[in-house]
Structure 1
Amino acid sequence: MASKVIHAIYNDDDILLNAVKKVRDEHYHIEEVYTPFPVHGLEKAMGLADTRIAITSFLYGLVGLSVAIIMMNYIMIQDWPQDIGGKPSFSYIENMPAFVPIMFEMTVFFAAHLMVITFYMRSKLWPFKKAENPDVRTTDDHFLMVVDTGNHDIEQVSSFLSSTGALEISIHENDEDH
């Protein structure tokens, strides 16, 4: 089912931020905001929840640390113990100070690489994916706020958005398949 959305174009980030606050105060639903650069405070003004990606980073670091411990224990203690510098490899605990740099590097390696993969999957950024940017000017110097009309009168919402400082207002069909 297709619904109507309004695209409001702004040319200044401060005007956009104030407009988002006004639109939220009027209880209109903002579908998305497209900006050419990060606008500080926009996520709070839109009412978006804090990200939980730091939790996944910590968990990925724990996975990397676990893999490092298991790998070093197997390679250096069980599979092929070596006498390096007069220190025999009888147990993992005795040799753990020498393994700390490897544990640190594997923790960072796993956290960084798995975070990138998680970010791309969460953002649905697949290789060769077609861009979903509705107006090419938002990659240069304009800002676009997409407002869902819902049960509201389209003319009333359009005039309200004009009063918030929008330069252009256009009405589009919104397909809910993405």
Structure 2
Amino acid sequence: MASKVIHAIYNDDDLLLQAVKQVREARYHIGEIYTPFPVHGLDKVMGLAPTRLAITSFLYGVVGLTVAVVMMNGLMIQDWPQDIGGKPSFSFLQNMPAFVPIMFELTVFFAAHLMVITFYMRSKIWPFKKAENPDVRTTDDMFLMEIDAAGHDVDGLTKFLYDTGASEIKLIEK
């Protein structure tokens, strides 16, 4: 049995936010929303759980800081100690003020680059992956709400969506 979804297209982000509120109050299931730019507050209106990416970013920064400390201690103190500018080369703690910029830069470097990789993996955006966007207008100026129509009166749902401000509605058989 093929499943049915309805694509409701909106032309304003504020209209979309109000429509999402009304659709959720009417107990319809929203499968996905496609927007040309991030819409502030959409995740809260949809009832999505908060993301844990900030925790991941912090952990990646800690990994970068650890790599920086181990690298500088191994290279500048243990392996090849040098007297640069009169700084003692036998203690990491005495040299730490000179190492702070390197520690900061590697912390930011690791957090930024590993977060990009994590974002691509989490979003399932692989190289040469075909786009899954159902309507190309959502990359320009339109907003699309995909609603599961299985088990619902399609005509009633279509009328309801037009009442929420949808400019165009399509029934899609998947």
Structure 1 equivalent of residue 125 of structure 2 = 125
Aligned mates of 2:123, 2:171 — CA distance in 1: 26
Contact kept? 2:7, 2:146, Cα under 8 Å: yes
Structure 2 equivalent of residue 72 of structure 1 = 72
Root-mean-square deviation over aligned CA pairs = 1.3
Aligned mates of 1:138, 1:160 — CA distance in 2: 22
- Say yes or no: does 1:45 pair with 2:45: yes
SS in 2 for 1:83: coil
Aligned mates of 2:136, 2:87 — CA distance in 1: 64
Percent identity of paired positions between Structure 1 and Structure 2: 76
Structure 2 equivalent of residue 62 of structure 1 = 62
- How much does 1:88 deviate? 2.7
- Say yes or no: does 1:138 pair with 2:138: yes
Q: TM-score, normalised on structure 2?
A: 0.94
Aligned mates of 1:51, 1:138 — CA distance in 2: 24
Aligned mates of 1:23, 1:5 — CA distance in 2: 14
Aligned mates of 2:86, 2:33 — CA distance in 1: 63
Matches of residues 1-178 of structure 1 in structure 2 within 5 Å?
2-174=2-174
- How much does 1:24 deviate? 0.4
SS in 2 for 1:7: strand
- How much does 1:71 deviate? 0.4
- How much does 1:141 deviate? 1.8
Contact kept? 2:3, 2:150, Cα under 8 Å: yes
- How much does 1:29 deviate? 0.7
How many residues matched? 174
What residue ranges of structure 1 are gaps of 5+ in the alignment? none
